[in-house]
Amino acid sequence: MKLGSTLVGTALAFAVATPALAHGMQAHEEKPAPSYGTLTPMDQLMKAFGWDFDKAEIKTQKIADGFYVLFGLGGNIAVSVGEDGTLIVDDQSPMLMPKIKAALKEMGSDEVDFVVNTHWHFDHADGNLALGKEGSWIVSQSNSREKMQRDNIVNFGPFAAEQKAYPKHALSDITFDETMQFHINDQKIELLHIGPAHTSGDAAVIFRGVNAVHLGDVFNNAGYPFIDADNGGDLAGMIAFCQAVHDAIDDETKVIPGHGPVTDRAKLARYIEVLTIIQGRVQALIDDGKSLQEIMAAKPTADFDSEFQANDMMLPSFLSRVYASLTRE
């Protein structure tokens, strides 16, 4: 609930202390790259992903006392629950909210006090539509709030979808530019924005008390990442973002990806290594004057495709977004 509690005051104080409140921010300037394939209605896109909200189950993984990860449809949800209240990272979909709340109730949570959005994409932030109405405080990087306020084309390369602007109640109440901190449930929670990566407004959330980090879609543990190049995403920035987080954690840190199973720092290091190699290969082909079609034919990811579970839908999207990122002026 949006009450004048100590928690809310603390969060707002930290937001003010950094040059980063939601209103009056200058958004990261992006040069549009409007070329995309078929524009797919959002409901059809979800069907293409195989999503069925009626049949979906929310699965819970306990990481530590008072700290959990929820898996459903969309981005992974981190949960800190304790005597100070409940803070979650990402919130999937309003269609899943009754099931998400049932899982939270099993942890002893009656309501969500804070929602941190790792970014603005529908599969991570659409739950704002439900939780914002109920009074949860919504937090994001400032560029994400700017994107939430307008209609956006999410361009996957071979196809694209339009994500509609969020109503006021689903927008971020609190934003930050580079860093922000919460002190809740006996732990320090750090929010970091390194720069454009998956989008222009990504946030990593480090839970120091339980030694865990949620990276959102900057780190994908279910295949190659999606680089939203038309909305500020950048491959070099993604690598730099992951490296900065890697350097800020230790070998015992539980690493929560945007999608896929919880893993560790070594897996994050491997992800950085592979993306760096692919970046170099594709850049060399671009420098040699190759077109996107010629780059795809050269198969610059072939030796990693099995490891990253590449398929006929993922690979063209990944390579087209890498190309768009590396050729953007």
Instruction: Return the CATH fold of 6-274.
Output: Metallo-beta-lactamase; Chain A (3.60.15)
What residues does 77 pair with on adjacent strands? 70
Q: Residue 35 has what pLDDT?
A: 59
Evaluate if residue 49 carries a pLDDT over 90: no
pTM over 0.85: yes
Q: What is the pLDDT of residues 232-276, one digit of tens each?
A: 999 999 999 999 999 999 999 999 999 999 999 999 999 999 999
Enumerate the domain spans of the chain: 6-274
Q: Residue 289 has what pLDDT?
A: 98
Q: How many CB atoms lie within 10 A of CB 109?
A: 21
Q: Residue 44 has what pLDDT?
A: 82
Answer yes or no: are the C-beta atoms of 213 and 42 closer than 8 Å.
Answer: no
Q: Residue 236 has what pLDDT?
A: 98
Q: Residue 19 has what pLDDT?
A: 34
Q: Which of 7, 21, 68 is nearest to 171 (CA)?
A: 21
Cα–Cα distance measured from residue 143 to residue 178, given in angstroms and rounded to the nearest whole number: 11
Q: Residue 250 has what pLDDT?
A: 98
Evaluate if residue 27 carries a pLDDT over 50: no
Give the amino acid at 108: G
Specify the higher pLDDT residue, 312 or 218: 218
Evaluate if residue 34 carries a pLDDT over 60: no
Answer yes or no: are the C-beta atoms of 207 and 80 closer than 8 Å.
Answer: yes
Cα–Cα distance measured from residue 326 to residue 132, given in angstroms and rounded to the nearest whole number: 37
Answer yes or no: are the C-beta atoms of 321 and 237 closer than 8 Å.
Answer: no
Q: Which of 289, 269, 272, 283 is nearest to 324 (CA)?
A: 283
Evaluate if residue 4 carries a pLDDT over 70: no
Share of the chain above pLDDT 90, in %: 80
Answer yes or no: are the C-beta atoms of 112 and 131 closer than 8 Å.
Answer: yes
Q: What is the pLDDT of residues 116-172, one digit of tens each?
A: 999 999 999 999 999 999 999 999 999 999 999 999 999 998 889 999 999 999 999
**Terminal CA-CA length for the chain:** 45
Evaluate if residue 74 carries a pLDDT over 70: yes
Q: Residue 309 has what pLDDT?
A: 94
Evaluate if residue 203 carries a pLDDT over 50: yes
Q: Residue 9 has what pLDDT?
A: 35
Q: Residue 37 has what pLDDT?
A: 64
Give the amino acid at 116: V
> 212: which residues sit within 8 A by CB, 6+ positions away?
63, 64, 67, 78, 206, 253, 254, 255, 256
Mean pLDDT, residues 43-55 taken together = 85
Cα–Cα distance measured from residue 75 to residue 171, given in angstroms and rounded to the nearest whole number: 18
- Phi, psi (rounded to 5 degrees) for 52: -135, 100
Specify the higher pLDDT residue, 53 or 37: 53
Q: Residue 104 has what pLDDT?
A: 97
Q: How many CB atoms lie within 10 A of CB 265?
A: 18
Specify the higher pLDDT residue, 17 or 34: 34
Answer yes or no: are the C-beta atoms of 197 and 215 closer than 8 Å.
Answer: no
Q: Residue 191 has what pLDDT?
A: 98
Tokens of 259: 């999608």
